[in-house]
Amino acid sequence: MKKGLYFLILLSINIYSQQLTDTIQGTKQILDEVVVQSIRVNNNSPITHSNVYKKELSTRNLGQDLPVLLNYLPSVVTTSDAGAGIGYTGIRIRGVSAQSTNITINGIPFNDPESHGTFWVNLPDFTSSVESLQVQRGVGTSTNGSGAFGASINILTDAISETPYAEISNSVGSYNTLKHTVKFSTGKLNQSFELSGRLSKIDSDGYVDRAFSDLKSYFLQGTYSKGNTLIKALSFGGHEKTYQSWYGLSKEQLLENRRQNPYTYENEIDNYKQDHYQFHWNQKLNQNWSTNLGLNYTYGRGYFEQYREDDSVGTYGGILISDIDSDGNETGTTDLIRRRWLDNDFYVINASAKYTGNRLDMIFNSSYSTYSGDHYGEIVWARNFSKDSSVRDRYYDGNGKKTDFSVFAKSSYDLSDELELYGDVQFRNVTYKTSGITSDLVNMLIDESFGFFNPKFGLSYKIRSNSILYGSYSRANREPSRSDYEANENIRPEQLNDFEIGWRYKKNGLRFNLNTYYMLYNEQLVLTGELDDVGSPIRTNSGSSYRIGIESELELKLSSNLSLRNNFTLSSNKNKKILSKFNGSVFDFGKTNISFSPNLISSNSLIFSPNNNLMISFLSKYVGKQYMGNTDAVNSILDSYFVNDINFSYKIISNLVFDEIIFSGLVNNVFNNEYVSNGYYYTYDDTWSSPGQVITLDGAGYYPQATRNFLLGLTLKF
């Protein structure tokens, strides 16, 4: 087995399935195994958050990626390269990119340690194995992995099933979309053991021409629970093949044919595999203390393939020979097919202890991770190789190594029956070293160490049993990514001071959450709007900047079978001073809007449920105007859009072959709007139109999203 451990272990978190009533949310929450206890917060905490459970996800889980299913949460904007929510998808919360959003699965970091990205395409149909998740907006509570700079999402995978079951789910939809899922559980054997698993296959042609997805995934879990001990081993992963569609369209192409794809080479694909191995062990010592230990191993490998026409032979390190033109002269270029590879190993160990007292709760947590990633490129075909070269010779080869060690302690103390004090202190140390050369044949020799101190504290005041006021202050620090260093060797880490004040209220059929936030950044790594040569977004430090806003969540029961859910975010997101090259010199653009940060985001859900078996929802989403760059350029504007979906689910209880038969459906973009949710913006210097004078010109690319489309599903449970 490659590089030693194919089996690793994660141990994170608690033991018994508990059932508590959340007095504000008004719902029963199953805190199964409390695997995410050390990084989640409860309803009394002074941390702004939203909880999502399996039941809510299941009605829309028809093949689209998890970020798309979270589209109707507060301050969320989602997008899809292929246009239909399958394949490469992205999520931004409060305008902050996924690179700056901390993602954990069972307490284990999911963000790629080098790029900081989260590639959900590597875990297709992962939603089918999610028990619950919590989205914390702002810095949130201390967590494992790199800090949250606008939000964190922590995910808990499937809970233990007491009884055996089997489940077959199939979906069909627009753009030849097909999803097949098989799940099972043995239930508890001898009151101690359980084995469960899932296999999934998703195919889709995509809304964009030839932007197909060929996705496979698996999930296997074994558990042992007896007395004060819980042991849980998991293996899950995926294999994705997707045709490239990250280049987008120009404004002219968008008007000409918004479904066209500029790529024409038939094998312009991503081909990547990722496997995760986790093992959890929890021990309850007594009524007050419980401990957790955890290890994780993630193995990723794969490439993307490109056809390059008339590419410069000088960028391939002497592997290639130039073509000869009709006059017998070397052109300096040739046609070729190249693959750029990633091959990485990621190890994590977590350990935590929890104390629960009458008035005082404490959590102590430590986490250590080590990552090694190989980056290399090879030529799989060319018109002419040099005499000393052959197919699959590497034209660049580099490595990145990263270690991350953190410790944090959290406590909550009841000062009185009404007032609760929350404190949270984290120390984090990161080292990052690189060797070799990049794809541009540039030496990349980084040797950096960072030490971060991240304090957090807050107060919660219970006005009544159904009404809570809270306020908090949190700090986060975050190191640059590999691509940040590639774009700018002088890149600096970013820092965030986050202030939150909120109110949670519930009475009878009304639930209302309101909070305000002020996020003050130093050297925030904002998206420039540009992409590098592999489609990754480029970031840069923006000096001093801020995000200030108000978020509202409302859930209102209008009648016994009709309810309304609404949320909106009104915000101002500003760089205090932006300096950028313009017409050959550095120009001060002054205070500008932060890229990809709309001032208004709103979602609305009208849910009709005449009985326990039928549910019909009308869903609406509005996203205001965004700038794709940081200079408020007219050509960088993404227009606002308003999109509506219809979702339904109908369940038949049966005493025959199947216990349940569930029909579900989703009509996306009911009113057939043509809209764009993402893009990129670039500038370039031009001297042709005005010889002797540098003129800065700009352009943009756009990712069109699907017009009206549908997904229909059938689930059989037995």
- Which pLDDT tens digit goes with each residue over 363-383? 999 999 999 999 999 999 998
Q: Is the pLDDT of residue 33 over 60?
A: no
Nearest-CA neighbor of 100 among 155, 59, 137? 137
The sign of the CA dihedral 74, 77, 83, 87 is: negative
pLDDT at 634: 94
In degrees and rounded to multiples of 5, residue 126 shows phi and psi of: -65, -25
Q: Amino acid identity of 575?
A: N
Q: Amino acid identity of 295?
A: L
In degrees and rounded to multiples of 5, residue 434 shows phi and psi of: -130, 160
Per residue in 392-435, pLDDT (tens digit) is 899 999 999 999 999 999 999 999 999 999 999 999 999 999 99
pLDDT band at 14 (very low <50, low <70, confident <90, very high): very low
Q: What is the mean pLDDT of residues 687-714?
A: 88
Spell out the domain ranges in the chain: 18-717
695-704 and 28-31: which strand pairing? unpaired
Nearest-CA neighbor of 675 among 639, 647, 718, 713? 639
Instruction: Report how far apart, in Å, the C-alpha atoms of 113 and of each of 216, 404, 513, 604 are.
Output: 24, 9, 34, 35
Instruction: Report how far apart, in Å, the C-alpha atoms of 448 and of each of 144, 342, 347, 403, 433 are.
Output: 20, 22, 20, 11, 7
pLDDT at 409: 97
Distance CA 142, CA 426 (A): 7
pLDDT band at 32 (very low <50, low <70, confident <90, very high): low
Report the DSSP beta bridge partners of residue 324: 330
Which run of H or of E encompasses 273?
Answer: strand 269-284
Instruction: Report how far apart, in Å, the C-alpha atoms of 521 and of each of 149, 424, 543 are.
Output: 9, 20, 8
Collect all residues with Cβ–Cβ distance below 8 Å to 212 and sequence separation of at least 6: 82, 203, 204, 205, 206, 242, 243
Q: What is the mean pLDDT of residues 170-198?
A: 96
Provide the mean pLDDT of the chain: 91
Instruction: Report how far apart, in Å, the C-alpha atoms of 430 and of each of 17, 137, 450, 455 are.
Output: 35, 24, 5, 17
- The answer to whether 669 touches 618, Cβ cutoff 8 Å, is no
Distance CA 158, CA 128 (A): 9
Angle formed at CA 599 by CA 594 and CA 604, multiple of 5 degrees:
140
Which is the CATH superfamily of the domain at 18-717?
TonB-dependent receptor, beta-barrel domain (2.40.170.20)
Instruction: Report how far apart, in Å, the C-alpha atoms of 660 and of each of 73, 165, 230, 346, 514 are.
Output: 29, 11, 31, 40, 39
Per residue in 58-70, pLDDT (tens digit) is 999 999 999 999 9
pLDDT at 688: 66
Percent of the chain with pLDDT over 70: 95
pLDDT at 150: 83
Residue pointed to by tokens 């915000």: 571
Tokens of 320: 């290639």
- The answer to whether 617 touches 647, Cβ cutoff 8 Å, is yes
- When mean pLDDT is compared across 242-256, 581-595, 630-644, the lowest value belongs to 581-595
Q: Is the pLDDT of residue 582 over 90?
A: no
How many residues in the chain? 718
pLDDT band at 25 (very low <50, low <70, confident <90, very high): very low
Tokens of 477: 């620090």
Q: Is the pLDDT of residue 15 over 80?
A: no
Which run of H or of E encompasses 485?
Answer: helix 482-487
Q: Is the pLDDT of residue 506 over 80?
A: yes
Q: Amino acid identity of 716?
A: L
Nearest-CA neighbor of 549 among 437, 650, 624? 624
Q: What is the mean pLDDT of residues 36-50?
A: 91
Q: What is the mean pLDDT of residues 605-632?
A: 96
Q: Is the pLDDT of residue 28 over 80?
A: no
pLDDT at 534: 79
Distance CA 83, CA 212 (A): 11
10 or 124, which is more confident: 124
24 or 316, which is more confident: 316
Q: Is the pLDDT of residue 128 over 50?
A: yes
Percent of the chain with pLDDT over 90: 80
- The answer to whether 230 touches 193, Cβ cutoff 8 Å, is no
Per residue in 299-353, pLDDT (tens digit) is 999 999 999 999 999 999 889 999 888 888 889 999 999 999 999 999 999 999 9
Chain centre to alpha carbon of residue 490: 27
Q: Amino acid identity of 543?
A: G
pLDDT at 22: 40
- Confidence (pTM): 0.92
